[in-house]
Amino acid sequence: MQYVHVTDSRAEALEAGERARYVGRMANDLRFNDLPMDGSFIKDEHFKGEQSIEEYTADTVCGSVEQVAERLIQDIRQLDPTHYACNFAYGCMPLDRAHRSMKFS
């Protein structure tokens, strides 16, 4: 499954990267018995070896319609998958932005 976000805004792209990093942090924390908790919630904390926000953003299929299309084509050619699932609403992405990305993809 690939995170996808269509935007022409660098700030919005970095925000999408931040949302991907949030999900990555939660997935990382769930691997351990000693979760960093804040009451009933897992804390959103940096972990050892974590990628930078720029790296998370680069690993997310994010950018203009053309950039997203090229990246999807590249991934599909390289991976030769039988299925390719796209997640447009990750890390508490606002639904209007997720919908916009689905509409343009």
Tens of pLDDT, residue by residue over 10-26, are: 999 999 999 999 999 99
Per-residue pLDDT, averaged over 73-80, amounts to 96
pLDDT of residue 43: 87
Q: Does 88 score more than 70 pLDDT? A: yes
| 35 vs 103: CA distance, rounded Å | 37
Q: Please choose, from the candidates 5, 12, 51, 62, the residue with its C-alpha nearest in 3D space to the C-alpha of residue 28.
A: 51
Q: What's the token pair of residue 66?
A: 């053309």
Number of structural domains in the chain: 1
- CB atoms closer than 10 angstroms to residue 17: 24
Measure the CA–CA gap between 6 and 89, rounded to whole angstroms: 12
The domain of 43 spans 2-104
What are the φ/ψ torsions at residue 6 (nearest 5 degrees)?
Answer: -95, 125
Give dist(CA 94, CA 5) in Å, integer: 11
| Predicted pLDDT at 105 | 59
SS3 85: coil
Q: Is residue 79 within 8 Å of residue 57, measured between CB atoms?
A: no
How many whole angstroms separate alpha carbon 33 and alpha carbon 28?
11
pLDDT per residue over 32-65, tens digit each?
878 888 888 888 998 888 999 999 999 999 999 9
